[in-house]
A = this chain, B = another copy of it.
Amino acid sequence: MSITNASAYEAAKSAKSASHTLATLPTSARNDALTAIHTALSEAKEDILAANARDLELAKKAAENGQLSLSILSRLDLGKKGKWEDMLKGILDVRGLEDPGGKESTESFVAISKVISAALENTQVPNTAIQLVTTRDAIPQLLEQDRFIDLVIPRGSNELVRYIKSSTKIPVLGHADGICSIYLEHSVDPDLAVRVVVDSKTSYPAACNSVETLLVEEAALQSVLPPVAEALLAKGVSLRCDANTKAALTLHLPKSSSAILQDAEEVDFDTEHLSLVLAIKTVPIVTDAIIHINNHGSHHTDVILTSSEEIAEQFMSGVDSAGVFWNTSTRMADGMRFGFGTEVGISTNKIHARGPVGLEGLMIYKYKIRGAGHVTAEYGEGEGQKSFKHQKIEL
């Protein structure tokens, strides 16, 4: 069912009603539906890839005119080696579909949606359990359906997330970008520091879990920082240094290296560069690093590199981020790596789900009580009244 053909009210209401049916279906019926979707998509591979090819054609033109980034173009291609298979595997893993992009993928989505709708016809899962919105016009009306919609998960730019949040009473699971920091403490093994910082910055610079800011303890300026900086420069990273780190590196690095150091501006410490740019700043001790991160970071993932367990624990308690890691890469913050399957996103919210979010992060509980005529009036402090036990139950 496509929401262009129905009012947002009806669409949301029928989806809610479908969710009630889904809740009462046995697992076997839900699995049957997933299997039916999987089979139908497998059989429709040719049609869907043809629709995707038409999307790609338009997107290529948009990319040539500079209206679309090459990274979106590359994510759009369902025919790319392994992508189709991964998507189908994801369905069987009950992990949901990977998101292949925005309006650029309309034809592919319509083709996929038709196949899924048809597949559900022969199962107990209501057709309206999955609905496709093909035009942005429907979004504002959908955002008004707080009676029927429990949660909105916007996938896209920071601007999109901000727009959605300010336009609805429905809770929004925000998947913000990341300004992740690494704090370099003087006691860390320099080889370990090199490995972790290089991985955090260079293994996928466009990812939200890549490091953007390196905070260097004063006592580490002359010892640990130079080999780390040298390794980053060798990988083509632009280093934007404050005065202290620049002075230390100028002293310790070959002239050819120190000549390409850049000067950091204040804005660099509040920017998600998403490229091979790293801002570097000196801090006196760990508490200053914590304060900097809490004020300038995005509460996504922050790392301390140190051999001191005490300082590591202090950092991990004090930094108010979804992920606080000791001696490992910021890029470990990932649903797949955490074992959640394909992730819905990484949440910087402080309610419900925080950090990488998989299927379990979308769940909520309900309280079921199976009684035998128990009534509240029988419990209390009075004579002959019962009291509640409230014992911890061993697992």
Chain A interface (Cβ within 8 Å of chain B)?
17, 19-20, 23-24, 146, 150-151, 162, 165-166, 169, 171, 173, 189, 191-192, 195-196, 198-200, 203, 290-291, 294, 312, 314, 316-318, 320-329, 331-334, 336-339, 349-352, 354-356, 364-377, 379, 388, 390, 395
* A375-B203 in contact given A166-B169, A366-B323, A368-B324 (Cβ < 8 Å): yes
- Nearest residue (CB) in B for A392 is B339
Q: Do A312 and B199 touch (CB < 8 A)?
A: no
Question: How distant is A285 from chain B, measured CB to nearest CB, in Å?
Answer: 14
Q: Could you list 10 A-B pairs, sorted by A, with CB under 8 Å?
A: A20-B320, A24-B317, A196-B375, A203-B377, A323-B369, A325-B371, A328-B372, A332-B374, A354-B367, A356-B367
* A355-B367 in contact given A23-B317, A169-B166, A376-B199 (Cβ < 8 Å): yes
Q: Do A350 and B290 touch (CB < 8 A)?
A: no
Copies in the complex: 2
CA distance A17 to B20 in the complex (A): 43
* A339-B24 in contact given A196-B373, A203-B377, A395-B395 (Cβ < 8 Å): no
* A388-B323 in contact given A350-B151, A377-B203, A395-B395 (Cβ < 8 Å): no
Question: How distant is A169 from chain B, measured CB to nearest CB, in Å?
Answer: 4
* A20-B318 in contact given A332-B374, A375-B203 (Cβ < 8 Å): yes
Task: Please give, as numbers and ranges, the residues of chain B lying within 8 Å of A192 by CB-CB distance.
Answer: 372-373
Task: Please give, as numbers and ranges, the residues of chain B lying within 8 Å of A371 by CB-CB distance.
Answer: 196, 325-329, 332
CA distance A25 to B388 in the complex (A): 33
Task: Please give, as numbers and ranges, the residues of chain B lying within 8 Å of A323 by CB-CB distance.
Answer: 366-367, 369
Q: Do A374 and B322 touch (CB < 8 A)?
A: no
Q: Do B351 and A351 touch (CB < 8 A)?
A: yes
Q: Do A377 and B328 touch (CB < 8 A)?
A: no
CA distance A165 to B199 in the complex (A): 42
Task: Please give, as numbers and ranges, the residues of chain B lying within 8 Å of A350 by CB-CB distance.
Answer: 150-151, 364
Q: Do A332 and B373 touch (CB < 8 A)?
A: no
CA distance A141 to B151 in the complex (A): 26
- Nearest residue (CB) in B for A336 is B388
Q: Do B169 and A351 touch (CB < 8 A)?
A: no
CA distance A339 to B321 in the complex (A): 30
* A351-B364 in contact given A23-B320, A169-B166, A320-B19 (Cβ < 8 Å): yes
Question: How distant is A155 from chain B, measured CB to nearest CB, in Å?
Answer: 17
Q: Do A337 and B19 touch (CB < 8 A)?
A: no
Per a CB cutoff under 8 Å, which of B23, B322, B327, B376 touches A331? B376
Q: Do A366 and B324 touch (CB < 8 A)?
A: yes
Q: Do B166 and A351 touch (CB < 8 A)?
A: no
CA distance A247 to B303 in the complex (A): 71
Residue of A151, A375, A376 ringed by the most chain B CB atoms within 10 A: A376
Task: Please give, as numbers and ranges, the residues of chain B lying within 8 Å of A327 by CB-CB distance.
Answer: 370-374
